[in-house]
Amino acid sequence: MSIFFLKLNAEVLKVNSSDDIAKNTHLANINALLIFTSQNGLNTGLFHFTNIGVDMEIYNLPFEYQFKSDSNVNYFLVGNVGYSRVFVSKDIVLPPNSRLTYDNHLQTYTAGLGMGVRYKLSDELRFLGGLELIYSRSGASVKKPDDDIGDAIEDFFNQNYNDNLSYKFFVETVYRPELESLNPYLKLGYKFYDTKSDFTFDEFTSLTSESSVLSASVGLESNELYRYNSNYLTLEGYLNLNYISGAVEKSVQFDTYSKIGEVAYWYIADDISWIKRFFAEVSSVNADGLDGYNIGVGFTIDY
């Protein structure tokens, strides 16, 4: 994603030139896209960054596959593909070198692949960590009333787009106590993003930017609520709290946000051997400077 978080405080403007602000903000925005689209399954969402007057529309498909293992240690693959569009949502002061105007929008395409390892300390407690490499391509396109996916694909090959590379390092602890009537869980995680870009805008040069997010989630999945033959339905609710730091914090102008979500799972028997369950998810995201939502559908791979 190119330069869409544009309203920086006076102290930053005094220290940095317009070019430096533009380049650093560009990279922070790529990290913001990766942080705010870490959902499960095929999802679409809209985020209103109210402090800075821009909206972000996203479409994302992450995936995870755990390899089977006879020991307490197993490996897994992670990845994602995504597309986002950013546009001005209210009157803001645009810097001289801004790529975002009222007549265009800024687009980012992402694709990532990584690997990790999970350690099962007990049936209730697990630890995991890994590294993902994410390629993204970002730039500005003129708004058109009849924009569609064909226009988005055509714009991908625009020579004014930037190529970016992000390294995502992540660790997580998952605690799932075994109770007869309930299925609660607690997750603690940390993600670190290092994004590098080869700018093609005017006289922009290569640059790097770092951001991180510390997360805590608590949730509860019900037991079987409805059964049809050997398939059955469960519901889950969760609360997710996040603390962000680094370049992305300066870009979005807040450091904490929360997410509340509900998920419906439809567990299947052996009809499809490699799928454990289908799901539909709805979540809302809120902060002092952010409100938005995500709607997702997908399935969990049986491993």
Q: Specify the pLDDT at position 247.
A: 77
Q: Specify the pLDDT at position 27.
A: 59
Q: Specify the pLDDT at position 110.
A: 86
First and final CA of the chain: distance in angstroms?
A: 35
**Residue 1: burial class (beta carbons within 10 Å; 0-12, 13-18, 19+):** buried
Decide: 260 and 239 in contact? Cβ < 8 Å.
Answer: yes
Pairing of strands 290-301, 42-49: antiparallel
**Residue 63: burial class (beta carbons within 10 Å; 0-12, 13-18, 19+):** middle
Give pLDDT tens digits for 148-165: 444 444 454 455 677 888
Record the tokens describing residue 4, joined without a space: 């869409």
Q: Specify the pLDDT at position 186.
A: 96
Q: Please state the separation of Cα 122 from the chain's center in Å.
A: 30
Record the tokens describing residue 156, joined without a space: 């991908």
Decide: 94 and 54 in contact? Cβ < 8 Å.
Answer: no
Residues of the chain with pLDDT under 70: 1-33, 37-41, 89-104, 142-160, 198-208, 271-273, 302-303
Domain residue limits, the chain: 10-221
Rg (CA), the chain: 20
d(CA 110, CA 131): 16
* CATH, range 10-221: 2.40.128
- 169 φ, ψ to 5°? -105, 135
> Residues of the chain with pLDDT > 70: what percent?
70
- The dihedral through the CA atoms of 282, 79, 173, 122 has a sign that is positive
Q: Specify the pLDDT at position 271.
A: 66
Contacts (Cβ under 8 Å, ≥6 apart) of 34:
110, 134, 166, 168, 193
